[in-house]
Amino acid sequence: MVEQFLRTLMRTTDIAVTGLFSPAAVAAVGLADLYARLPLRIGLGLGSGVIALSSQDTGSGATANRDEAITQALVLGAVAGVPFVFFGFLLGEWAIALLGAESEVARQGGIYLAIIFATTPARHVALVAARSIQGAGDTRTPMYINGVSNALNIVGTLTLGLGLGMAPELNIIGVGIATAFGNVFSALALLAAIASPWTPAGFIRPRQWTVTKQLLTISAPRIVEGLGSTVIAFPFNAILLLFGTEVNAAYQIGQRVYQQITAPLSRGYRTGTSIIVGQTLGEGDPAGARYNGWAAALLGLVTVGSLGVVLFIGAEWFVGFFTDDPETRFYAANFAAAYALAAPLTVLYTVLAGALTSGSDTKTPFIARITGMLFGMLGISYVFGVVLEFGVPAIYASIIIYYLWATIYVAVGFYRGAWVDRTQAMMDERGSTPGEASGTDDSAK
């Protein structure tokens, strides 16, 4: 949770600093981040696959299988990031303009996108390496490393973006440079941690195609889920732009406020649940895994739900930190309030999706999220907001409906329990079942 809080604080600082420039700058960063989510989803997808295998094999004692999955995921992540480097440099401004952005927004967004995409391979490696270490039971090392990285990122954003001290005032370029530096720092430090005796995880020469296949089998639906949600976000943001740049900027701010306050806990619960459920399954205790999943969901509901109440009451005050433009501030407060109402649903979805992922089931969260976004968020926003002319209030409602549907779907999937048998079958296939584990050689480090 601390790690996620610092990461979210870094992104919040980016929005706050760009908010000092202009609404166009906020919109530029927000639209560029839509494209930045594409490689992010790939990294998170591979991270989901590796945390599932890493936690299961740690629980069963199959450490060689665990380290092989870690090594393979890191290589796949680095290679998958290379195409984005070329995309950012060659098509960055065009990509932002494609969404219907004004020329100045497209120009600024294109520059920012080119800078952050240049370090996509490092971003993938950092995401996969952190999940690898966490799956092995060590959540502190990624927190320390990413905490330092995010702190340096925040300092860089303030220094280069605003031109503090003797630094040049680079505005949005400085924000991008700070983000790129943080990506590279995290990747190198996490790789060094895995190679050292500091963490239980390690590297090993890949030998098993079965591990590769299972890693991709678990990761693929998560990657497609992330990419699909990002693709859906493009027309959703285009709908926002129909109501003006201020409304689009307000959405970015409202969402950022919600993410800063509630997302660190939700994501922390998801990671913790993935580790505990995965390791419990690895130990051969499916009943314990079920209990842990429901218990984590209840804990998340109580804590994040309470933060949602705080956000709803103080929505206007919170968004005031990001903009002083009256129109943008009005809409941003309403978006923050909508996300606050959805907070209990979002944490239930996030935690149960994490439990399913550690149980080798990434298809159920994929279906829940894509259908919820496609019909609940995008469909309602367009039909009721644009066609039937209810305007921006329809977009507020669509956010809540989206999470309501997604939460119901994953809860039913977790309750049915097909993920338990799936995990056992995959562990048998790669030789990681307790008492039969073939990969227990710690000499790989």
Give pLDDT, residue 436.
54
Longest dimension (CA), the chain: 65
Structure tokens at 173: 């370029």
Residue the block writes with tokens 């790669």: 430
Structure tokens at 140: 């502190």
Report whether 66 contacts 201 (CB < 8 A): yes
Report whether 64 contacts 144 (CB < 8 A): no
Give pLDDT, residue 445.
47
Round to whole Å and give the CA distance between 368 and 365.
5
Give pLDDT, residue 177.
92
- Number of domains making up the chain: 1
Show the domain range for 310: 2-444
Helix axes 140-162, 2-19, angle to 10 degrees: 10
Cα–Cα nearest to 257, from 16, 34, 28, 27 = 16
Round to whole Å and give the CA distance between 402 and 345.
10
Q: List, in sequence order, the alpha helices (H) in 163-208.
A: 172-195
Round to whole Å and give the CA distance between 391 and 240.
10
Give pLDDT, residue 340.
94
Cα–Cα nearest to 236, from 355, 351, 118, 386 = 386
Round to whole Å and give the CA distance between 57 and 172.
44
Local mean pLDDT, 10-residue blocks, the chain (445 residues): 78 76 76 83 89 88 87 93 93 83 79 92 94 90 91 88 82 87 94 92 83 88 85 86 86 87 88 90 91 95 94 90 84 93 94 91 93 92 91 93 95 92 86 61 45
Round to whole Å and give the CA distance between 38 and 81.
10
Q: Side chain identity at 150, as an amino acid letter?
A: N
